[in-house]
Chain A
Amino acid sequence: MSAAQEVHGGRPRLLGPAVAYLLLAVGALVTVAPFVLSGMTAIKSPQQFAAEPVLNPPQPLTLDNFSTLFGGRYDFVSPVVVTAQVVAVILIGQIVFSVLAAYAFARLRFPGRDALFWVYLATLMVPQIVTIIPLYAMFAEAGLRNTFWGLVLPQVFGSPYGIFLLREYFRGIPEDLISAARLDGCRTHQILRYVVVPVSRPILATLTIITIVSHWNNFLWPLVITSGPTWQTLTLATANLQSQYNGNWTLVMAATTVAIVPLLVLFLTFQRHVVRSITITGFK
């Protein structure tokens, strides 16, 4: 990658580097501004927000909005915990079951393999809004509305997207590694555990991050399948708070900050993986 960049950088350009930097900086500013502004509002007192111009920096700087948020009445602790639990369970289920399926598609031969894989792929085209209604009906009839398992079940059994991703990667594992393990008498589950998974760490890390991000941010399904404060996820709690305390922007911005920060931290820690994950998923 750096070789290509070197070559590109050597010739006279339509836009000089100064202009390029300016444009990039403007882009960065526009990207970051809403985060900064909302964060600023979250640490302002409601009185200051109402009395002074909105763009004034917080003075005094206060964490009251956050303590109100986590205090008894709004109880933002529960949505954070519920979301973490849901994401953890879905993550484990999706990774495990996707690895199993991807291995089967990638390394085993069996009748109907390609046709079945096409079926898996085809389901990627089914939009969420289409399955929402029947799933709601099915879960409501089964008494699973507003339960933990109602939130988790549709997602926990592996994702076609993850299976697709992993299969590509598994196909690239050298046959020797696996044959060697087989010759050593390994059963399938041991092959997976001692050969496939260790070798696939990068793609697994990638898939983990994609899974965490998409399920942490899921809104439509929790909106439909849960009711009330017990099982609301973080995105749902934020929406409900905004609905209830419409003009109370300092409180609402505190809620959005809480909803964003965990993923922001995750992202900044693992940003190389995330960036790579986004680009890997595109190609092939």
Chain B
Amino acid sequence: MRRSSRETGTAYALLAPSLFGITAFLLLPIFVVVWLSLNRWNLITPAEFVGLDNVREVVADGAFRRSLVITAGFVAIVIPVQTALGLFAATLLTRGLRGSSLFRVVYVLPWICAPLVLGVVWKWILSPSDGALNALIGQRVEWLADPTLALPTVAAVTIWTQVGYVTLFFVAGLTSIPTHLLDAARIDGASPWQVFWRIKLPLLRPTTFFVLVTGIISSFQVFDSIYALTPQGGPDGVTDVVAGRIYYQAFQSRNIGQASVMALVLFVLLVVITVGQQRWFRARTTYDLSS
């Protein structure tokens, strides 16, 4: 193992730009946000050090706690549904039916578009007086204005946007299952149902893990589509998700200190979720696909 200092020099030269970028725009901001969380600042008057006051206020802030609950609720609706639908669609698409690849392309279309723009499109479709959905069903339903309907509706739009993306992963996962395993099971007389539950699903664990982790992480940060569909937290604040709360706190109420605390809480929450999921899945997953 030769280590030449020239190689080191070259390596660091190659790494320099990205290292700068990551340090300046991803790592440094974390320190800055911690510092900001210890100050009271409204962007106009100079910042004032207040120590842990902001933390105290955020902990006592009912609206923030509520936004965590709302976001958790949102995730609880979106993730299971989009994962199940994605898996179901993938099973249909891996049957060798003609035109499967065309369907795959179609299902992924929403993923290509900006969530904000799709939010605006759906805002029209869901508009009570002149939207397409109410025209279709002939009823006047206040999808986005009724506090009981707003969150499920917004979740449904998110699911619509993401199912195709999830489907693709499951398609890749399903097609990478070695056929000899499936053949062996069939020869042993297993029904399609059993093959699915006993062989495919367990072997899909890496895919499922990936889909769940990335899905949960990104759903916790949902902002764009909610901003378009139900600005300012929605009717009675029922769609006031965490990212929205942080944004409004920082850039509307201009309470940078508290917004920073909230952002840190979200950060820690996401790290805990990621690490926790890794541990949970690692214990239950075999990677032996004989490949």
Q: What is the predominant secondary structure among interface residues of chain A facing chain B?
A: helix
A-facing residues in B72-107 (Cβ within 8 Å): 89, 92-97, 103-107
Does A55 interact with chain B (Cβ within 8 Å)?
Answer: yes
Query: What is the chain A residue whose CB lies nearest that of B117?
Result: A259
CA of A145 to CA of B270, assembled, Å: 29
Which B residues from 139 to 196 make CB contacts under 8 A with A? 160, 163-165, 168-169, 171-175, 177, 179, 182-183, 186, 192-193
Contact of B105 among A2, A133, A275 (CB under 8 A): A275
Question: Which residues 1-35 of B sit at the A interface, judged by CB distance below 8 A?
Answer: 1-3, 7-8, 10-12, 14-15, 17-22, 24-30, 32-33
Contact, CB under 8 Å: B175 / A4: yes
User: Considering only CB atoms and an 8 Å cut-off, how many residues of chain B contact the other chain?
Assistant: 107
Query: Whole-angstrom distance between the alpha carbons of A175 and B182 in the complex?
Result: 36
A127 touches B266 (CB 8 A): yes
Q: Is the Cβ of A224 less than 8 Å from the Cβ of B228?
A: no
Given contacts A37-B132, A157-B17, contact A110 B8 (CB under 8 A): yes
Q: Do the beta carbons of A24 and B89 come within 8 Å of each other?
A: yes
Do residues B94 and A5 form an inter-chain contact, with CB atoms below 8 A?
yes
Assembly CA distance A67 to B72 (angstroms): 43
Q: How far is the CB of A87 from chain B (nearest CB, A)?
A: 12
Residue ranges of B at the interface with A (Cβ–Cβ < 8 Å): 1-3, 7-8, 10-12, 14-15, 17-22, 24-30, 32-33, 36, 43, 89, 92-97, 103-118, 120-125, 127, 130-132, 135-136, 160, 163-165, 168-169, 171-175, 177, 179, 182-183, 186, 192-193, 206-207, 210-211, 217, 220-221, 223-224, 227-228, 242-243, 246-247, 250-251, 256, 259-260, 263-264, 266-267, 270-271, 274
13 residue pairs of the A-B complex, CB under 8 angstroms, read: A8-B96, A104-B12, A116-B15, A125-B217, A125-B270, A128-B221, A138-B29, A157-B20, A157-B24, A158-B17, A219-B116, A234-B114, A263-B112
A-B pairs with lowest CB-CB distance, top 10: A157-B21, A158-B18, A217-B114, A134-B32, A5-B96, A9-B96, A279-B172, A134-B29, A110-B8, A104-B14
Interface residues of A (CB under 8 A from B): 1-9, 11-15, 17, 20-21, 23-24, 27-28, 30-32, 34-35, 37-38, 41, 49-50, 53-55, 97-98, 100-101, 103-105, 108-111, 113, 116, 119-120, 123, 125-138, 140, 153-158, 160, 163, 188, 213, 216-220, 224, 234-235, 238-239, 242, 247, 249, 252-253, 255-256, 259-260, 263-264, 266-268, 271, 274-275, 278-279, 282-283
